[in-house]
A and B are shown apart, each in its own frame.
Chain A
Amino acid sequence: MPADLDNSSTASGEASVSSSGNQPPAPPPKSAAGAKKKRNLPGMPDPEAEVIALSPKTLLATNRFVCEICNKGFQRDQNLQLHRRGHNLPWKLRQRSSKEVKKRVYVCPEPTCVHHDPSRALGDLTGIKKHFCRKHGEKKWKCDKCSKKYAVQSDWKAHSKICGTREYKCDCGTLFSRRDSFITHRAFCDALAEESARAHTQPPPNPNPGPASPNPNQESDPKVQADSSSPPQAPAASPAAPVVASQSTGVMASSTVLPVQGPELTDHPSQIIEDVPAPKPAPIVPPLPTASAGFNGSCSSNTSSSSNGSTSSSVFASLFASSNGPGSLQPSQTPVFTDLMRAIGQSDHSTDLAPPPSVEPVSLCLSTSHGSSIFGTAGQERRQYAPPPQPAMSATALLQKAAQMGAAATNASLLRGLGIVSSSSPSAQQDNMQWGHRQVEPENASVPSGLGLGLPCDESSGLKELMMGTPIFGPKQTTLDFLGLGMAASASPSGGLSALITSIGGGLDVARATTSFGGAEFTAKDMGRSS
């Protein structure tokens, strides 16, 4: 999957520009000229060379060496001489004495042209011919497709081969023939937001109307804040990371959950966090180290500021912004959660994988209908922070994407199995809890998370049925599920957990789940191990 992503972003040169993140665009190659001499550097002929000035007529004459017998014309005298041999005519091939060959250079017959000056003569006959045609000649070769005209036939041929193929492609899959169309689309397309969320480890600048900080580097960078003092156990959480990173597409299923909100959130993680009126009780914070470790592989982040709810939350936000999908694992804080979901929702667009069409409506239902009733206090907050769903995507766009996603979806069985956990049947509660316990068993960090999760899932009884019975979530379930589990595991008293679970799976008994996991007392370390 990562490969697919890469391909799509580099498929068009344009797209790759944006993915270059902070790197400055490749500078014009002029600086390289000094180091090694360019081939055919125009206008720097060998001073010893013989300068040839041909009239335009001679220059353009295609077959000026004509056989007097058969009237066949040749471009070069040498060829004519060879031809004359066939007629048994006297012929003369110039002997090439390797020593005596004098280099010839050619000037342009057009007096106003810079290459008219012998000091700027060009090194070969073909070159001067093409130059003359291109710059001073009539453009008589016209492309049938785009009406572009060329003076040199070979240029026209070369163009004809690629005409119409040079299109601009956005990561969302839309093609454009014109750069300005592409640019306008690109600027507002969610694909860019996702990409930058991926490319930038720091959150985007505060989108507030006030003067935004012009320097993104001034923004707090999660990695910078990360402290190596994080507990060694933290890596245990890393199994999750691969899933997230490589299967961010999988997460996309969540786009179905909150498809509408997707785009904006990543854009303003920080802003939204700031709006949080009363940070949830402190216990929330501990999960952070694990979570961040899981996300940013190398980044073992330990927020020393964990005592401060709001600070940590902003860190969360930034993490989410940078690492698209997986964020769901960490935060048990509601607002952050929504944030996260949005981030996930965003990341979806660029990826080819996505739930089959049927999935979307269902998950949409879940997120909205269940949300309000079950959320409780958390629900209220969620509504507060998450803007109401907006029709950000047109119906056609949704369908289109859904179709793409469906086509790409392959890894069904395992993931689907996972999906069960989040399904809403009553028996699932039990399974879920079992799963939770199982998780406590340390898993090797190197084990791909998907597998790790999948195994316990399969073992638990009744899961299979559930799995079968929950086509709703389709193949993408891994991550989704994952989110659910992660949240459950790190269950904090805050309603965020329940909100999450409900929004994902619908019918889970929140209370039971929470208690079984030990509620808020679960420490980050524990979490790290378990997940």
Chain B
Amino acid sequence: MKQTQTHQRTRPWPGFPTSKSSSLGSFGDTNCMEQLLVHCANAIESNDATLAQQILWVLNNIAPPDGDSNQRLTCGFLRALIARAAKNGTCKLLAAMANAHCNLALHTHKFTVMELASFVDLTPWHRFGFTAANAAILEAVEGYSVIHIVDLSLTHCMQIPTLVDALANRFEVAPLIKLTVVDAKEDAPPTLDLSHEELGSKLINFARSRNVMMEFRVVHSSYADGFSSLIEQLRVQHLVYAESGEALVINCHMMLHYVPEETLPGINPNANSNPYNNFEPSSSSLSSSCMSSLRTMFLKSLRSLDPTVVVLVDEDVDLTSNNLVCRLRSAFNYLWIPYDTVDTFLPKGSTQRQWYEADIYWKIENVIAHEGLQRVERLEPKTRWVQRMRNANFRGISFGEEAASEVRAMLDEHAAGWGLKKEEDDLVLTWKGHNVVFATAWMPV
């Protein structure tokens, strides 16, 4: 550990440099780091290898991978930029540097199910969405005896146990739960070392211990084509079950941002393989093209299924820009949060912390180093999702006071920086006042 690490975290508020780590002078502050990263990105994009290398050298010295949270954040971006440069071949000399960094290269951890379960509890990052979504779902499915839950989540059903438990406690006669999960071939972290089938049998077993009958189904479907096969299956089911009074719950937990949106050019899904036949590639402006992206079409087809409730939880940041520098700034001013929070729940140097930060780095690299279909971390801010949902003929449902207080009670168990904000109908998780994750609930108009 170098001397610089002993300084306290330097970035409680982005944009307000408070760095006291002065061993490298003003370089240590986050504004400066961001500026350097931006310059570096520009240099790489403009093929200025010399400048790029100079900046990388500086960054390399002020942002050790084991430094404070801002240094680690910067280091993540640095590595991602190197990876980009090496990949593009724009700065051939950087390949060597990339190799030098390859020992730091991304090793996302394959979690055991128990590891993941405890991970989910370390921070409100996921639990916030779980708690809010469960409350909304519970309210929406009141009176249904069969509840079909489609869990579109990255967290491998970690939300389901609490939902099952809540349903079991809430209803005198527990409803039948049909759980459908998606097996997307693409693997975004966290990854699990357990098959869906094994996961399902655990869930069924657990549900039974709560006297809840559960059916578990895995649908192989890819977000790259807008979950077309999932939609197809749900459509068929809808024909069969809609009349029988089965509730259809679509739980989207940090998953929909993988569905390609308008800024991803050249995605022309062919008509044979997916239901969005009227897709036409178009400009990057949301308003003009919202009728045509897979993301839009997915929401439209969701709407056509007449779901009882759709819960949409995602990270509140815009990472869709086609401009590398825009994306870099945006990501840098969001992803400091996970690095900043980690000090509150995982000790320095712990293995879990390495896993956690490797997953953040996976995201950084995806946003910075990749382009096209490979760049899957296409997060959109809440406002844009709200617009999308409204365009798709959904109406927002307000989270009740009960949901808010449950979230607050949960946040009370975590570090003081976490907060809850009510924005109109929605709930927003905040860290030191900055939006982190939003939760919205919708039903067909």
Contact = CB atoms under 8 A, between A and B. Distances in A.
B198 A264 contact: yes
B391 interface: no
A427 interface: no
Contacts of B196: 209
B161 A186 contact: yes
A207 to B, nearest CB: 3
Nearest to B121: A181
B168 A25 contact: yes
A208 B215 CA distance: 10
B286 interface: no
Contacts of B164: 187
Contacts of A207: 197-198, 200-201, 204, 216
Contacts of A210: 217
A196 B114 contact: no
Interface string A377-403: 000000000000011111001000000
A188 B127 contact: no
A195 B202 CA distance: 12
A196 B205 contact: yes
A183 B162 contact: yes
A394 B114 contact: yes
B66 interface: no
Given A208-B197, A216-B208, A147 B412 contact: yes
B165 interface: yes
Given A186-B161, A188-B117, A204-B208, A180 B131 contact: yes
B120 A184 contact: yes
Interface of A is mostly: loop
B112 interface: yes
Contact of A189 (B114, B203, B216): B114
Given A183-B161, A196-B205, A209 B200 contact: yes
Most-contacted residue by chain A among B196, B202, B205 (CB, 10 A): B205
Contacts of A278: none
Interface in A174-192: 177-181, 183-189, 192
Nearest to A19: B209
A22 B130 contact: no
A183 B121 CA distance: 11
B interface bracket (residues with beta carbon within 8 Å of A): 35 or more
B211 interface: yes
B205 A193 contact: yes
A180 B208 contact: no
Contacts of B215: 211-212, 214
B43 to A, nearest CB: 43
B48 interface: no
B208 A177 contact: no
A18 B115 CA distance: 22
Contact of B209 (A18, A178, A185): A18
Contact of B160 (A187, A189, A205): A187
B138 interface: no
A367 B400 CA distance: 55
A192 B211 CA distance: 14
B193 interface: yes
A390 B111 CA distance: 11
20 contacts: A18-B209, A19-B209, A23-B211, A24-B211, A27-B172, A180-B127, A183-B165, A184-B158, A185-B118, A185-B121, A186-B206, A187-B164, A189-B114, A192-B206, A196-B208, A207-B197, A211-B215, A211-B217, A212-B200, A391-B112
The 3 closest A-B CB pairs, nearest first, are A207-B201, A187-B161, A187-B206
Interface of A: 17-19, 21-25, 27, 147, 177-181, 183-189, 192-193, 195-196, 200, 204-205, 207-212, 214-216, 263-264, 267-268, 390-394, 397
